[in-house]
Structure 1
Amino acid sequence: MPPITEVRPVSLSFRQQLFRVKPLPSDTEEKGSPLQRSIGFFQLTLIGVGGTIGTGIFFILSEAVPAAGPAVIWSFVIAGIVAGLTAICYAELAGSVPVSGSSYSYAYSTLGELPAMGVAGCLLLEYGVSGAAVAVGWSQYVNQLLENLFGFGLPVALSSSREEGGIVNLPAMILIAACASLLIRGTRESVLANTVMVLVKILGLAFFIAVAFTGWNADHFTNFTPNGFNGVMAGSGLIFFSFVGLDAVSTAGEEAKNPRRNLPIAILAALIVVTAIYVLVAVAALGAQESSRFEGQTAGLSAILETIVGASWPGTVVAAVAVLSIFSISLIVLFGQTRILFAMSRDGLAPEIFQRVSTRSKTPAANTLIVSACMALVAGLLPISFLAEMTSIGTLAAFIVVSAAVMVLRRREPGLERSFKAPLHPLIPVLSIAGCLWIVKDLRPITILVFTVWVGAVLAWYLLVGRKNSMLGRGMAADMN
């Protein structure tokens, strides 16, 4: 009788560990989430609208118009088209993989663990920096409102970064602390507050458009592209971070009601509303004020209305709307950041504290406190121009991965249930990737360098710590033994 040879389990190679793919969640796993499903379609749509409108309109015109001139209108359109192509890809994945974590979770289920960590680095940059950028812009409108109502503003030392002549941006830090306290109270309360603030925001922007069109001057569009097509694309790069809110819808995958249906249509509905309002406000603003006056202008929409009417009250109205509505953007961005870290922690790729859920509020409270503290420091110390570009490149990189994930999942799981399918596949994902790369090439070298260093640091964390703690890796090792 031949000797019996002991069969030893074969461990995964280093390369196999890096590209191991997380199984798609089953219906049972979706229902077993500790997070509470309390967000309906309308609220999901307003998460997208609320997390987007404001970042591009209330203050980014002062950065983008000097780059593109009146052709900044085309910058918005181009950024909207690229975001739209990607939104279609997000819609397909959101209906197929309805979990927290957004494109991190999508990459983990399609491309593998190492690419997922790279995407996580992009998302942490995207959400963390955009939240800080919005908070910095918010402080400008706080000052404008204080000056209009009481005749004084906050001292520069307490409302600007060192690069802008101050010491710390205190209002920006206070805003983030307020958002954190609301999120810790509960998701239902946060969503309700966001709904009210978004509706107020839309009414305020409609008021701006109506008043701004009374000061219309077609001569402002005479020199339409002073910096040529390169200027238009540079403007798109600055503006692109304005579409980060669309991504925020997909971070609510485990707190959405009927996610396979509601997530895809909420993403697309938010995109349509956001792009339409952006273009309308940009056209009205440029028709009312010469492009040369936008550079360095703080609280720009308020200033435009004050010039048209010759009084401060319209600007006060817009400033008040901005103060209230930009709060909603910080709220949604902070929400998205915490849910991404929640998903990573549950997978063993981030410290365990980020997945702890409060038994009272059913929210990741400790996670929210840590993220808000880091975001507040960034907002208090860095200028808005640098923050805007860093958000754009993080968003673009995440969008590229989502588009690639759609093609991979179509090939690997052709029979997967998809409540929404991107049309003209693979043309839409390919065009989305090409559009994102086209915008990236026009960003400043320092932005690309800092982004590369940041993602490299996240991947180093994974290789040294996260890979060993991976829940997927532990499960596969147990199965092999």
Structure 2
Amino acid sequence: MAIKPQSNKIGQLRKDAISVLGAVVLAMAFMGPATSVFFNTQPAASGAGYALPFALLLAIVVAALVASAIGAFAQKIPTAGFAYTFNTHGFGKRGGFLSGWILVFAYAMVGPMLLAAIGELTAQFFQTQWNLAIPWWAITIIFAVIVWGIGVLGVSRSATTALIFLALEVGVMLALFGTILGKGGAQGISLAPFNPANASGGISGLGIGMLWGIMFFVGFESAGTLGEETQNARRSIPIALFTAVGIIGTFYVLSSWAATLGFGQSHMNAFVADGTPWMTLTQKFWGSGLIWLVSLTVLSSIFANLVSGINATVRVLFAMGREGILPRSLSQTTVHGNPVVAHSAYMLLALVLALLGGLLWTPLGAYGFFGSILGLGIVITYILINLALISFYWRKYREEFSIVRHGILPVLASLIMLLPIYGQLWPIPAYPNNLVPYLMLLWIACGVIYLVFIARRRPELLDAMGRAMSEEAAPVEEHTKVTAS
């Protein structure tokens, strides 16, 4: 593929590339339903205990409140920049920059986290099923190349791929949940898991459960990055957000209910100690002959998660590159509106981090480490979006300001999300996850230093922030578009 620059005012994404269904599918696939259930159920249960379904219900409430805030922004500012652009209009240039800075750090963890996991789990699958010993890192490289190729083909191809794998993972896992609940679990059907008093770790335990519960939902907000490529975006993006939260949220509550009942209240210590509780449940309720099916389902989920998650990350990089906050080359697109430079650069970075993290902490250790950064960064981003919404509507759309939707609900959501932050900070997690808060503070400090540099040396970048992604202003300077031949 040769890249030929053409004169163009600004790199542009392809308008109307996907329908509202495509936005829903990409958001749900980014959530990685089977991946989240497989990896996050056990650590969530380590805090919430038998009250895990209650923690998931709290997470649904938080996700719905955040969806309301993102949807309210998207109705006014269809954008690829998501929190970066939204918070620029809500907090001003400096607040928007720091929001985008945190979001980039959080989303940057998606690729390395999932590439490390899919390499290791695929290697285990080959070893178990066919006694083939293939290094995890070789498989990780192969998947990185495949995902890169799909992304280069465009967002519509990514949505189609995600839909196929999403249907497979949800179908298989729902069948397993149905079997467990249909057989009454280990001790009969009970609503006791929805009682917060059954949280083994008390308030802190619910905080940990809720943190991982929010990790279940990470990705639904990615519909907010598709504002420039979705048909009738002002209407479609809010629909996509609430649809993703509603459908997959119900899926998650069913999964946690099935898991807690499947082990039983008297065996929650065994649940928490089990590194692969869903394999244990599969063997118990389906028999060992179908363990391969659940393993393949998880791999399908990770792949769909990779495709959709990297699409969202790339669009944030594209938006910040388009305004010059990051290198402007990241805003280059093909004639079909695909951000090929941002996609290629990010895939290379993700692959390097996945391989390095896997070598330092094992592939699944890297998944946990990068995932913890993602979770903390996304929770902070959610809080900032909610607070920015209050300012945005009060200052710019006061006649539409609703004291409930634009005032009370954002504050309530922000307060609730302090709980998972507390759960991640205390008790202090084991190495290397104990480094996550310090890395986040270091990243924010670097952002502040960079912001001071921009304000003093390149103030025109601050003046232009937030304008390129909105329809209310023209781009400030010329950029480059690329064509593929």
Pairing 1:457–2:434 present = no
Counterparts of 1:265-344 in structure 2, within 5 Å, are 265-289=239-263, 290-295=267-272, 297-313=274-290, 315-344=291-320
**Aligned-residue CA RMSD (Å):** 2.9
Which among 364, 386, 396 is matched to residue 413 of structure 1? Answer: 396
Partner of residue 351, structure 1? 327
- Do the aligned residues in 2 keep the contact of 1:148 with 1:312 (CA within 8 Å)? no
Partner of residue 403, structure 1? 386
- The verdict on how the C-alpha distance between 1:459 and 1:372 changes in structure 2, with shifts beyond 3 A counting, is farther
- The verdict on how the C-alpha distance between 1:416 and 1:374 changes in structure 2, with shifts beyond 3 A counting, is farther
Partner of residue 229, structure 1? 203
CA deviation after TM superposition for structure 1 residue 145, in Å? 3.0
Which among 156, 166, 187 is matched to residue 218 of structure 1? Answer: 187
- Do the aligned residues in 2 keep the contact of 1:51 with 1:248 (CA within 8 Å)? yes
Larger radius of gyration: 1
CA deviation after TM superposition for structure 1 residue 428, in Å? 0.6
CA deviation after TM superposition for structure 1 residue 465, in Å? 4.6
CA deviation after TM superposition for structure 1 residue 227, in Å? 2.0
Partner of residue 41, structure 2? 61
CA deviation after TM superposition for structure 1 residue 277, in Å? 0.4
Distance 2:250 2:119 in 1: 26
Counterparts of 1:67-216 in structure 2, within 5 Å, are 67-151=47-131, 154=134, 158-159=135-136, 169-213=137-181, 214=183, 216=185
Partner of residue 373, structure 1? 348
Distance 2:343 2:399 in 1: 34
- Please report the TM-score for the alignment, with normalisation by the length of structure 1: 0.82
User: Which residue identity is paired with 2:163?
Assistant: T
Partner of residue 472, structure 2? none
Distance 1:370 1:56 in 2: 27
- Residues 226-266 of structure 1 deviation map (CA, whole Å, 9 limit, x = unaligned): 22231121121233222221111000111111001100111
User: Which residue identity is paired with 1:288?
Assistant: G
CA deviation after TM superposition for structure 1 residue 135, in Å? 3.3
- Residues 253-294 of structure 1 deviation map (CA, whole Å, 9 limit, x = unaligned): 111110011001110111111211011011112222343334
Structure 2 SS opposite 1:226: coil
User: Which residue identity is paired with 1:280?
Assistant: L
- Do the aligned residues in 1 keep the contact of 2:11 with 2:333 (CA within 8 Å)? no
- Do the aligned residues in 1 keep the contact of 2:205 with 2:423 (CA within 8 Å)? no
CA deviation after TM superposition for structure 1 residue 172, in Å? 4.1
Which among 414, 437, 452 is matched to residue 418 of structure 2? Answer: 437
Structure 2 SS opposite 1:218: coil
Distance 1:422 1:267 in 2: 22
The farther-off stretch of 95-104 and 371-380 is 371-380
Distance 1:433 1:250 in 2: 19
Distance 2:424 2:201 in 1: 15
- Do the aligned residues in 2 keep the contact of 1:239 with 1:392 (CA within 8 Å)? no
- The verdict on how the C-alpha distance between 1:293 and 1:135 changes in structure 2, with shifts beyond 3 A counting, is farther
- The verdict on how the C-alpha distance between 1:310 and 1:198 changes in structure 2, with shifts beyond 3 A counting, is closer
- The verdict on how the C-alpha distance between 1:182 and 1:256 changes in structure 2, with shifts beyond 3 A counting, is same
Partner of residue 229, structure 2? 255
- Residues 186-206 of structure 1 deviation map (CA, whole Å, 9 limit, x = unaligned): 222111111212112211221
Distance 1:80 1:139 in 2: 30
- The verdict on how the C-alpha distance between 1:136 and 1:308 changes in structure 2, with shifts beyond 3 A counting, is farther
- The verdict on how the C-alpha distance between 1:351 and 1:415 changes in structure 2, with shifts beyond 3 A counting, is same
The farther-off stretch of 261-270 and 297-306 is 297-306
Partner of residue 17, structure 1? none
- Residues 60-115 of structure 1 deviation map (CA, whole Å, 9 limit, x = unaligned): 12322223222222222222211221111111111111011111110112212211
Partner of residue 27, structure 1? none
User: Which residue identity is paired with 1:373?
Assistant: L
The farther-off stretch of 73-82 and 139-148 is 139-148
CA deviation after TM superposition for structure 1 residue 440, in Å? 1.2
Gap regions ≥5 residues in structure 2: 1-9, 358-364, 429-434, 468-474, 477-485
Counterparts of 1:376-391 in structure 2, within 5 Å, are 376-382=351-357, 383=365, 384-391=367-374
- The verdict on how the C-alpha distance between 1:456 and 1:77 changes in structure 2, with shifts beyond 3 A counting, is same
Structure 2 SS opposite 1:70: helix
CA deviation after TM superposition for structure 1 residue 431, in Å? 0.5
- Do the aligned residues in 2 keep the contact of 1:144 with 1:299 (CA within 8 Å)? no
The farther-off stretch of 242-251 and 259-268 is 242-251
User: Which residue identity is paired with 1:473?
Assistant: D
Distance 1:211 1:174 in 2: 35
The farther-off stretch of 348-357 and 207-216 is 207-216
User: Which residue identity is paired with 1:43?
Assistant: G
- The verdict on how the C-alpha distance between 1:72 and 1:248 changes in structure 2, with shifts beyond 3 A counting, is same
Percent identity, aligned pairs only, is 19
- Do the aligned residues in 1 keep the contact of 2:29 with 2:166 (CA within 8 Å)? yes
Count of aligned positions? 432
User: Which residue identity is paired with 1:187?
Assistant: V
- Please report the TM-score for the alignment, with normalisation by the length of structure 2: 0.81
- Do the aligned residues in 1 keep the contact of 2:49 with 2:200 (CA within 8 Å)? yes
User: Which residue identity is paired with 2:390?
Assistant: M
- Residues 29-78 of structure 1 deviation map (CA, whole Å, 9 limit, x = unaligned): xx994433211111111112111123421211232222322222222222
Distance 2:278 2:144 in 1: 23
User: Which residue identity is paired with 1:39?
Assistant: I
- Do the aligned residues in 2 keep the contact of 1:55 with 1:134 (CA within 8 Å)? no
- The verdict on how the C-alpha distance between 1:54 and 1:102 changes in structure 2, with shifts beyond 3 A counting, is farther
Which among 14, 21, 34 is matched to residue 42 of structure 1? Answer: 21
- The verdict on how the C-alpha distance between 1:144 and 1:299 changes in structure 2, with shifts beyond 3 A counting, is farther
CA deviation after TM superposition for structure 1 residue 453, in Å? 0.8
- Residues 366-418 of structure 1 deviation map (CA, whole Å, 9 limit, x = unaligned): 11111112122222333222222211111011111111121111111126889
Distance 1:108 1:147 in 2: 50
- The verdict on how the C-alpha distance between 1:232 and 1:36 changes in structure 2, with shifts beyond 3 A counting, is same
